[in-house]
Structures are given as C-alpha cells and as structure tokens.
Amino acid sequence: MRLAKYLALTGCCSRRAATRMIRDGQVVIDDRLANHIDTVTLIDTPNGQQCQEVLYVNGNRVSTVETKAYWLFNKAVGTDSRLLAHLPNSLLHLLPESPRLYPVGRLDKDSRGLLLLTNDGELTHQLMHPDFGHIKTYHVKVDRPFNNDFLQQMAAGVSYKDITTRPCKISRLTEDSYQIILTQGLNRQIRRMSQALGFKVIDLKRVSIQSLSLGDLPEGQRRQLTDSELTTLQQSLGHTCLDI
C-alpha cells in the first residue's frame, strides 16, 4: 500500500496532508526520510492492522489503523476549527481523546453549523479534493435586503481578486437571507462573493454536506452517524466500502 494512503488510514491525517508531509521531510520510514513512492506492508496484530515498517511523523510513532469513526458536530460561532492545543477556543478541546477525530474541511471562526468529524483519511480525501465537486449547503444572512439581480450574479459566478467562482445554485429565504449550494470550497468564499457585490455577511450557517444534514442537532453538540447515513454518504461518493 502507498505510504500516504496508509497514513490516512491510521487516522494520522488526510491523504493530501500525508503527501505534503512526505514532501516536506516530516515522515521517517525505517530510519530514513520517506519519499512519495514508498510503500508499506500490512500485517495483522492483536491491536489491529499495521505496517511492518517503523514510521514516524513529526517525531511521533504512527500507531495501528484505528477503527473508523464518523460524527456530526454543530459548530458554534467562535469555535476555531484548527486543532491547535494552545488555542482556548480550538475544536480540539471539544473532541474525545480516542478515537482521534479530524474535521473534514473547516468553517471559519465566524461561521457556524455542520462539521463532519472522522479519522477516515480516505473519506476525507474524497470529500475535500476539488476534482470531486461534492455539494455543501449554507444559509446566509447579509446586512441588508437584496434584489433578484444579486441572486443571478451569485449564481453565475463572482469575480474577486484573481478568482472567478464556479456557477452555483442559490435561492431566496427572506428579504436579506439566502440558501447557497456550492461545489467548491475556496477560503471564505461566500463572504468574499457577497462582499464583491456590495453586501456583508452577518450570519453564515452550513446546514448540509453531501447527503448529511444538520437537522436538530444542538449547537456545540456532536453525534455519531447512523448506519444508514454512512451508507448513503458512501454511495453518494461513488463507492460502497471505505475499508482497506
């Protein structure tokens, strides 16, 4: 198995992050720096499946492949999605020590709503890679009422800096709020699209990711995905098994 894929399966990080860490010299395999063509050999142990090789990431020994876990979390405004222990408002402090969970993508500190938490690096790769174009739905309130021209311009794609966003689906909720469905995840995309058209976002809530919906999950709380939710998500990603 390719080294980056194995690191993702252990829950250490996503496959993309593993590739970056290998490139940057942060991964050691059998007392040498790893490279992107390295592979590992899987063996079964009493503690689970692991590789024969000795692996370290940033000086930490890589453990066995964890049992996969999938949780939904309703993030509040002010919670920082970065898993940084020195930040008192980091999402890290709201997560269990085991299994190690990571958010699939981020919501900026000023936004709220649905996060998917998992240690499944392959699923994370499928959902985050821009080529897959998976959908995310948001409810957005801006600082004043808007007309239908605003909706049409947002739907067609908005240019800011050196970026033009992909066309998207958008519909009115109230005189000053809308629902938007995106297939890309640029940094602060909705805020910058709205700002380019003269509006300031004052509330942004993610309500769904692919087939997963926030529903009535209380703010600041998390719950495990049901079997049917996980199966539907897997099917929507075009595959039916996330195991090795």
Query: Any idea which residues carry the catalytic annotation?
Result: 108
**Tokens at 183, concatenated:** 């297939």
pLDDT at 131: 64
- Spatial separation of the C-alpha atoms in residues 244 and 65, rounded to whole Å: 10
Q: Which residue has the tokens 């966003």?
A: 165
pLDDT at 62: 87
Measured over the CA atoms of residue 183, residue 221, residue 71 and residue 46, the dihedral's sign is positive
Instruction: Confirm if 71 and 225 have CB atoms less than 8 A apart.
Output: yes
Instruction: Confirm if 140 and 177 have CB atoms less than 8 A apart.
Output: yes
**Quick check: bond before 88 cis, omega within 30?**
no
Residue 5 has φ and ψ, to the nearest 5°, of -65, -40
pLDDT at 40: 93
Radius of gyration of the chain (CA): 20
**Tokens at 10, concatenated:** 């252990």
| Edge-to-edge strand ranges of the sheet holding 27-29 | 32-33, 27-29, 55-57, 60-61
pLDDT at 3: 93
User: pLDDT 10s per residue in the chain (244 long)?
Assistant: 999 989 888 877 778 889 999 999 999 999 999 999 999 998 887 766 788 999 999 998 887 777 788 999 999 999 999 888 899 999 999 998 777 888 987 899 999 999 999 988 778 877 876 666 789 999 999 999 999 999 999 999 999 989 999 999 999 999 999 999 998 888 899 999 999 999 999 999 999 999 999 999 999 999 999 999 999 998 888 643 333 2
Give the other-Cβ count within 10 Å of 5's Cβ.
17
Instruction: Confirm if 94 and 220 have CB atoms less than 8 A apart.
Output: yes
Determine if residue 203 is left, alpha or beta; phi over 0 gives left, psi from -120 to 50 gives alpha, anything else beta. beta
Write the single-letter amino acid at 122. Answer: E
Domains of the chain: 3-61 (3.10.290.10), 70-130+211-236 (3.30.70.580), 135-209 (3.30.70.1560)
pLDDT at 49: 78
pLDDT at 82: 86
User: What does the DSSP 8-state code read for residue 127?
Assistant: H
User: What does the DSSP 8-state code read for residue 18?
Assistant: H
Instruction: Confirm if 200 and 177 have CB atoms less than 8 A apart.
Output: no
Q: How would you classify the pairing of strands 201-209 and 112-118?
A: parallel
